[in-house]
Amino acid sequence: MSYLSLTAADRDAMLATIGVASVDELFRDIPPAMRYGRALDVAPALTEAELQRHLEELAGKNVVDEICFLGAGIYDHYVPAVVDAVLQRGELLTAYTPYQPEMSQGVLQAIFEYQTAVCELTGMDVSNASGYDGTTVAADACFVAKHATGKSKIVVTEATNPQVRQVVKTYAPGFGLEVVEVPHEGGTTDPARLRDAAQGAAAVIFQQPNFFGILENAPELAAAANDAEAMPIAHVDLVSLGVLEAPGKYGCAMAIGEGQSAGNAMSYGGPHYGFLAARSDLIRRLPGRIVGETVDAAGDRGYVLTLQTREQHIRREKATSNITTNQTLLALAGLVHLSLLGPRGLRELGDTCMALAAYAKERLGAAGLEPVFSDKATFKEFAIHTGRPARDALGDARAKGVYAGYPLGRDYAGLDDALLVAVTEKRTVEEIDRLVEALS
Amino acid sequence: MKLIFEKSQPGRRGIGVPKPDLPVPEVPSELARKEAPRLPELAEPEVLRHFTELSTRNFGIDTGFYPLGSCTMKYNPRINERLVGLPGFAGLHPLVEDDAAQGALELEWRLQEILLEVTGLDAVSLQPAAGSQGELTGLMLFHAYFRDKGEDEQRRKIVIPDTAHGTNPASVTMSGYELTPVKTDARGNIDVEDLRGKVDEHTAGLMLTNPSTLGLFDENIEEIRDIFRSVDALMYYDGANLNAVCGISRPGDMGFDVVHINLHKTFSQPHGGGGPGGGPIAVRDILEPFLPVPVIVNDSGTFRLDYDRPKTIGKVRAFTGPFGVFVRSYAFMRSYGPGLREMSEVAVLNANYMLARLKNDYDLLYDRLCMHEFVLSARNLKKEHGVNALDVAKRLMDYGFHPPTVYFPLVVPEALMIEPTESEAKETLDAFCDAMLAIAREAADEPELVHDAPHSRPVKRLDEVRAAKEQIVRFRFEEHPAEQRAGDRELELQKGA
């Protein structure tokens, strides 16, 4: 086995030092009835070259050459080469959680920088080191809100990503939470209706831009939640925050979201990272790792995992979460991407997505594929009527080499002819013209 | 070293963005960003150098020996990094129709098949993102199972030994159960007499790590199983220590009903300085109806995702799980094949060899053969020379090693928890043992040298109390006027644009 170093002579010497005659003897504490008496029934070992061939065959069975207009939470943004180069640094890639700060200043400083970037983008005071993804951070935020308010109702807008809502509902019984959904009206959420639903609630979760790609009147939604003394939680897209207002500026208690758009390949859904940022008064209730600045014995600046008394390895059953492993490497990818973009690049990224999406919406409309919510401003994604079952339209477009979008009927009754179309900066005018042609 | 924000200069940037010749729609003013975020402004070479410099201030398994107990820091094969980047994997959107994802689904299904063989159970969900989420999912399955039987109200208690990882009790709370702690006996096993008095018809189940965090296989596991079976309670296996027993003993055969597998430990997903991980769960057939959706179905070689599962608990994460983790772990498993057993044998051999070399100079509370890891105590050094486990850990850095896990498990005072894994050469194990023995001598002869360690790292010992007190958890631009000015200038640039 090429990953193992011990020679037969090594083994003999080691067994002699231990004082046993064989490797089998090392397992004598396992009751005989519980030993597995045969070889594992798995395929024979592959050499590296065989492994490469086998996985290339599997990868080759996936279809990735259709022009991608599919979004619905995961987006085909460009990932810069420097991101890959940084992530392949073995010192970062193959390190564990930085429990020993003197061995881990690189990762700790990177997380501190990531926290700073997330706070800047969201307008919040504090960010954790990442959560699993954009769905689980929503459940985490509910747990924070419940304990901060002592209330046990959570309101989620129906225009929030269906998978986010589903994960919140799956976690809710264990947290002792009841989840109430507020329907959308013409693609957006009515602040008055949200205010009514938020009475007695710990928190209100809404998405900006929402699942339909539409810009909600987020400041009014946050105000409605605050009026009802429920914590407003905005689920946002990091790459929209060069052009859209930061949730911290319009009164949100927490800002959460899926970080994949910044720095991560789509990779069939992961690994990616979720971000969770909050007002400073919630810092002791946050789940997960937080890195803080300090000094070393010589008085020089350094970084450590901090406020660990919130965490499971200290607090056990009283911890703010059970999370240990998070998504540090993927969050680092996000930081590298954001650092390459800078404030101007992030702004331009948003502008380009909006410009291309607007062009696509207009051209599709001109071809008879009308927007589902015609009067609403959108960011990089929008819904269109295909005039027939959306899956049929999707199938026909795929036959022409275009993956045209996400059929909204999967999650929303009455939208069976609707496709949700996403346009990132990677798409070109020519590709959009092909989309229009493929759907017409 | 400067933060990237302190290297920022207005007007620089690292990457361009396509600018199509199209009008940019106006964002309604009440929704538009008013102040630009103070992201750093650097050209590409400086960005790369910044993160490269950060990497030189870090230590990974690529750098050297990393015997962090309970974390299974084994070699991460480089071929797996190449494979996860194949365009057919990296470029695949998770919401494509199943016909476009046949290779991904086949890989996931094949991974599940290997996990079933290794765990001895009946069905798998790959969805949980990490071990702790696997735990929580498993406990949700407990609830669903007993709710289905009409016993969920009655069964409120989960039994956990005092040696457990902190995630276990935290998961119990998050899932809405109550914790029943149970003691450890003089041999490091669960105290069966204590257990017997605590398990009854109100017990939903047990969470156990076996081998335990002491690195010991519980010799009473058959009796423990019978106690839980006698009240129809369930058993959860924390798979953090599965690296000890692959192909040697299977959790399903021990009587466990749910197992989580830490793909970032036993199956070599690189841990990335804190993640990603993977925490699939394998379950006995009685729990299969309740698994998260979607479930992968193999219709004679054609694969599909099944959401139509009336008894499902729902979803614990988006999509099918962290797919890239599955690629790496599947590749790792295929490179071993049935040799996964040898992997575990060598992990256990390495640990026992180190234990044999060290147990005369450090205290050992439970003097038995260990499994894949062992726990020493520095209480002798503390008592005799005032040198504690943390001092030993910091001094090991000067010898070029990552320290072991310290102060865990809680039942061992001044704990040093050492897990070598199968990846190491005997010379490395010997060098580490030599360092541990040298430090024990230094503790007697030059205790200050150990107290003040590390002497060789980019920073000295860090003041963690100060960090918790001051709570500086982001760069304070306002205290660094140069960066503030840069931010202001950026705003002006945007206004002018």
Positive or negative, the CA dihedral B87, B92, B98, B104 is positive
> How far is B262 from A437, CA to CA, in rounded Å?
47
- The separation between CA A427 and the C-alpha centre of its own chain, rounded to angstroms, equals 22
Q: Which DSSP string corresponds to B420-454?
A: --TT--HHHHHHHHHHHHHHHHHHHH-HHHHHT--
Looking at residue A320, what DSSP letter applies? S
Q: Say if B400 falls within a structural domain.
A: yes
Residues B444 and B329 grouped into a single domain: no
In chain B, % of residues over pLDDT 70 = 97
Stretch B331-341: mean pLDDT, rounded? 98
> B299-303, long-range: CB within 8 Å, 24+ apart, which pairs?
B302/B102, B303/B98, B303/B101, B303/B102, B303/B105, B303/B106, B303/B109
Q: Are residues B235 and B286 in the same domain?
A: yes
B203 lies in the same domain as B322 = yes
Hunting for tokens 């959904």 — which residue is that? Answer: A181
Q: What's the total number of domains in chain B?
A: 3
**Does A69 lie at the interface with B, CB-CB under 8 angstroms?**
no
Is B64 within a domain?
no
* Pairwise CB contact (< 8 Å): A215 & B27: yes
Tens digit of each residue's pLDDT (9 = 90 or more) over A109-168: 999 999 999 999 999 999 999 999 999 999 999 999 999 999 999 999 999 999 999 999
> How far is Cα A121 from Cα A255, in angstroms, rounded to an integer?
10
Domain boundaries, chain A: 8-46, 67-78+343-439, 81-335
At A127, give phi and psi (nearest 5°). Answer: -130, 145
- Given a cut of 50, is residue B485 above it in pLDDT? no
Query: Average pLDDT of B68-91?
Result: 98
Helices (H), A238-327: 312-315
Q: Are residues B251 and B293 in the same domain?
A: yes
B33, B352, B474: residue with CB nearest A116: B474
User: Residue A326 corresponds to which tokens in the numbers above?
Assistant: 């998070």
Do residues B172 and B207 both lie within one domain?
Answer: yes
Tallying the residues shown for chain B, one arrives at 497
Residues B166, B310 within the same domain: yes
The reply to whether residue A110 touches residue B51, judged by beta carbons under 8 angstroms, is yes
Last residue of a domain, one of B279, B312, B338: B338
**Residue B457: inside a domain, yes or no?**
no
* Interval A167-221: pLDDT, tens: 999 999 999 999 999 999 999 999 999 999 999 999 999 999 999 999 999 999 9
Residues B105 and B239 in one domain: yes
In a domain? residue B248: yes
Please check whether residue B428 lies inside any domain of the structure.
Answer: yes
Give the residue from B58, B274, B480 showing the smallest Cα distance to A290.
B274
- Name residue, tokens 């476009």: B100
Mean pLDDT of chain A: 97
**How close is the nearest chain A Cα to the Cα of B73, in Å?**
8
Task: Tell whether B452 is within 8 A of chain A (Cβ).
Answer: yes
pLDDT surpassing 80 at residue B482: no
Mean pLDDT of A390-398: 98
Residue B71 lies in a domain: no
Residue A1: pLDDT band by 50, 70, 90 thresholds? low
Per-residue pLDDT reduced to its tens digit, B12-42: 999 999 999 999 999 999 999 999 999 999 9
Contact A325 B107 (CB under 8 A): no
Element (H, E) at A18: helix A8-18
| CB proximity list for A102: less than 8 A, separation 6 or greater | B394, B397, B454, B457, B458, B459, B460, B461, B462
- What confidence category does residue B378 fall into, taking pLDDT thresholds of 50, 70 and 90? very high
CATH 3.90.1150.10 for domain A67-78+343-439: yes
Chain A residues closer than 8 Å to B321 by CB = 269-270
- Name chain B contacts of A304, Cβ cutoff 8 Å: 462, 464, 467
B337·A377 Cβ contact <8 A: no
* pLDDT value at residue A85: 98
Q: Are residues B372 and B474 in the same domain?
A: no
Q: Is there a contact between B349 and A327 if contact means CB atoms under 8 Å apart?
A: no
Res B492: pLDDT: 45
Cβ neighbours of A166 (radius 10 Å): 18
CB contact under 8 A, A174 and B274: no
**Predicted model pTM:** 0.97
* Mutation to test the B interface, candidates A53, A83, A94, A353, most B Cβ within 10 Å: A94
Query: In terms of domains, do B142 and B163 share one?
Result: yes
How many other β-carbons are positioned within 10 Å of the β-carbon of residue B160? 26
Residue in chain B nearest A15 by alpha carbon? B353
The CATH code for residues A81-335 is 3.40.640.10
pLDDT of B491 higher than 70: no
> Cβ B315–A134 below 8 Å, yes or no?
no
Q: Which domain holds residue B45?
A: 4-57+466-496
Q: Is the distance from CB of A1 to CB of B339 less than 8 angstroms?
A: yes
**Are residues B275 and B185 both part of a single domain?**
yes
Q: Indicate if ipTM > 0.85.
A: yes
CATH of the domain at B170: 3.40.640.10
Contact B403 A167 (CB under 8 A): no
Residue B254 near chain A (CB below 8 Å): yes
- Per-residue pLDDT of B188-201, as tens digits, reads 999 999 999 999 99
> What is the reported pLDDT for A320?
87
Is B185 in a helix, a strand, or coil? coil
Q: Does A265 touch chain B (CB under 8 A)?
A: yes
* pLDDT at residue B362 in the model: 98
pLDDT value of residue A340: 98
Are residues B366 and B487 located together in one domain of the fold?
Answer: no
**Is B28 at the interface with chain A, CB within 8 A?**
yes
pLDDT digits (tens, 9 = 90+) for B403-455: 999 999 999 999 999 999 999 999 999 999 999 999 999 999 999 999 999 99
Q: Report which of B287, B308, B294, B247 is spatially closest to residue B126, judged by C-alpha positions.
A: B294
Q: For residue B108, is it within any domain? A: yes
A-to-B residue pairs, Cβ atoms closer than 8 angstroms: 701
Say yes or no: B447 and B489 in one domain: no
Give the whole-angstrom CA distance, residue B97 versus residue B102: 9
Report percent pLDDT > 70 for chain A.
100
Smallest CA–CA distance, residue B410 to chain A, in Å, is 10
Residue B239's Cβ-side half-sphere holds a number of Cα atoms within 13 Å equal to: 34
Q: Give the pLDDT confidence score for residue A312 in this predicted structure.
A: 87
Structural domain includes residue B29: yes
Q: Read off the pLDDT of each residue in A262-283 and give the average, rounded to a whole number.
A: 98
Beta carbons of B459 and A301 less than 8 angstroms apart? no
| CATH at B426 | 3.90.1150.10
